[in-house]
Amino acid sequence: MWWMIVVHHIFNMVIIVVLIQLFYALCRLYKNKHFMKSLYLLIIFIVFGVSLQAQIPCNTNFTVGNDSTLLCGETYTLQANQGLNSYAWSTGSSQSSITVSTSGTYTCVASELGPELVVNGDFSAGNTGFSTGYIVGTGGAFGQLSNPGTYAINTSPSLVHNNFSVCSDHTTSGVGNMMIVNGANNSGTDVWCQTITVTPNTDYQFSAWIANALNDPNVAQLQFAINGTNLGSPFSTSTTACTWNQFFENWNSGANTSIEICVTNLNSTGGGNDFSIDDISFRPVCTYTDQVTVTIPPNPVIQTIANQTICEGDNVDLTASSVSPNLTYDWTPGGAGASINVSPTQTTSYSVIGTDANGCVSNPQTVVVNVNPLPTLTFTGDDVICEGTAGSITVTSSISQTDFIWTHNGLTIPTVSVVPTETTFFEVTATSPQGCVTTDSIEVEVLEELEIEISGESIFCQGDQNNLQATSNLTGTDFLWLPRNETGSVLPTTISDIGWVYLEGNHPICGVQTDSIELVLGEKPTVSIPDSLSLCLGEQGTITAVSSIPNSQFNWFPGNLSGASQVFTPLESGYVFVQANAEGCLSDLDSILISINLNCDVIVPNVFTPNGDGVNDFFKLIESEGVQELECVIVNRWGNIVQEFDIPNFKWDGTNKNGNEVNDGTYFYIIKAKTSNGTELEKSGFVQLVRGK
């Protein structure tokens, strides 16, 4: 914007020059005093108007947009004139534009710096455009600025005084000049002054950059003033050389049209008090303000129920509502719906929003569901008792001050006595101070009364070693054998234990029970049976055992048979054993070998057909296995020998000794045989020979 004002000023000055030249020409042409006076006043009025117009630098065409009404969810971008120096929105933004999404009135205050009014503020034109109470340094032992109260225009303090530092110019472009000052000994001397034309009631911005010329704690104390009135407080440079610091103040012209700006050094000390000044600036500040009202439908407002408290395992309904119609609700966690049913395991916050048909979303509302824990019950006491005895059980809770009530008797104490007749569950209900209820139970096992028993051989046989076995109807019973004073469920006995043996059973719950047994000395019997028995296959044989002690019992093996006599029909040869038992004393085993003769008879056919068809063509033994020797004679009806054989596997094919076929008819045979076990067999009979056609 400011460049447009500069161009406008230049244009106005050109008009003024043209008018002056025109006025001069007309005066010479007419030489009329009244005409020249009137024309002079006209030119003065025009020049004054042009000059007045040139002093108004601000742009009045400032806007940030138009009042607008938006739909819910829409945004609106407010754009101020670009290129200004600063922006201050009512939202706090400092950008040239903002984007809004809520209803409200939005204000922007922007500022713009006008053209520079200080002449030669960067000293690029050298020693011109300003006045000063100091003099240009004339030299001395330390250089141009050897004496206090002198100054120079140069590019570095080191070039005008031997003790000054090498400092760079603050101006970033141009020749690099600065005003370098050796402070005066007397306070209040003006360092720099300049007269500037201003516009009444206009804000201006004044600034200057100052740096110490050397590292010295005695720094300059500079006072800035306008028309003799101080502008801000005295300004001191840094004690570090070449460090540029800015003096900055805003000022309003009020009714002034022309001002004098002066920089005065208040330090009167000659040592130190040396500085550089650069980039002195005085510019008008244009401030613009505009505002826009944006109307957006309000977001819906929803309500929820108050925070809830439940017990662990319970559930509760959470409900949201609104005066705005047709909202959809979304719970996190929980899902969609105006109401949700929740059962958290721990205290949980549930957030809900409502959305209307235009997509407007409410602010979230939160419901906290506090979850109180359930009491955890622990039982101690007698969970196992013996039949007929009483037990005591106690319940404790994980939560202090829990109330209890026992189901079986209605008692409200933590410890109760119980006398169950059988295994029983005892139930108790616990209620915490927060009202959370747990029901649990303990099983009290009822054991039978203790019963113990001794088993084993009570008759001790000469030379034997027996074991007595202790048994109990209850597990966990400990046993003590007396008088041996030994523990364990088994007691090995010898002949030295003849007499009474006592057993004491001790159960940790059901107490002590006893049993006893008398060990007596018995006689060992002798048993006998035949050494062997030969039977034909399928034939029965009876074997009788005899004991040396009358009235003995007998056990047969295999088969675990009992009795003095046993009938056997074995299918194969083998041994049979027997043992005698005389009042618990067992004999040694005796045995018998039963041999099975597979051929107790010779079997031959009574008809055969020697016709060569491969079926029943021979007269022979049907089974010859086990036959070791054999003689067979075949005769006809008249007693004449037809054929003879002397081997077990003979075959008569219906021919005589000469090899001739005999006639069909009846023939007689006599067979004598001997088996492999020495049995002699003899058999005779007849056989029909039928050849057929």
Cβ count within 10 A of residue 590: 18
Tokens for 56, please give them: 């108004």
Helix (H/G/I), strand (E/B), else coil: 38:
helix
Domain 452-522 has CATH 3.30.2130.10: no
Look at residue 6 in the predicted model and tell me its pLDDT. 43
Domain 607-689 has CATH 2.170.8.10: no
To which CATH superfamily is domain 527-597 assigned?
Immunoglobulins (2.60.40.10)
Domain 302-372 has CATH 3.30.70.260: no
Look at residue 685 in the predicted model and tell me its pLDDT. 92
Look at residue 268 in the predicted model and tell me its pLDDT. 81
Q: What number does CATH give the domain 377-447? A: 2.60.40.10
Q: 77, exposed or middle or buried, with CB in 10 Å at 0-12, 13-18, 19+?
A: exposed
φ, ψ of residue 449 in degrees (nearest 5): -60, 145
As a whole-number percent, the residues of the chain with pLDDT over 70 amount to: 90
Q: What CA–CA distances, in Å, run from 190 to 181, 203, 264, 265, 575? A: 11, 25, 4, 7, 151
Least confident piece of the model among 116-125, 160-169, 263-272, 297-306: 263-272
Preceding amide of 483 cis, omega within 30 = yes
Least confident piece of the model among 16-30, 89-103, 405-419: 16-30
Tokens 């019963």 -> residue:
451
Look at residue 541 in the predicted model and tell me its pLDDT. 86
Phi-psi bin for 551: left (phi > 0), alpha (psi -120 to 50), beta? Answer: left
Q: What is the mean pLDDT of residues 306-319?
A: 95
Q: What is the mean pLDDT of residues 353-361?
A: 88
Look at residue 442 in the predicted model and tell me its pLDDT. 96
Q: What number does CATH give the domain 135-288? A: 2.60.120.260
Residue 79 pLDDT more than 50? Answer: yes
Q: What CA–CA distances, in Å, run from 210 to 167, 177, 223, 380, 558? A: 12, 13, 12, 90, 131
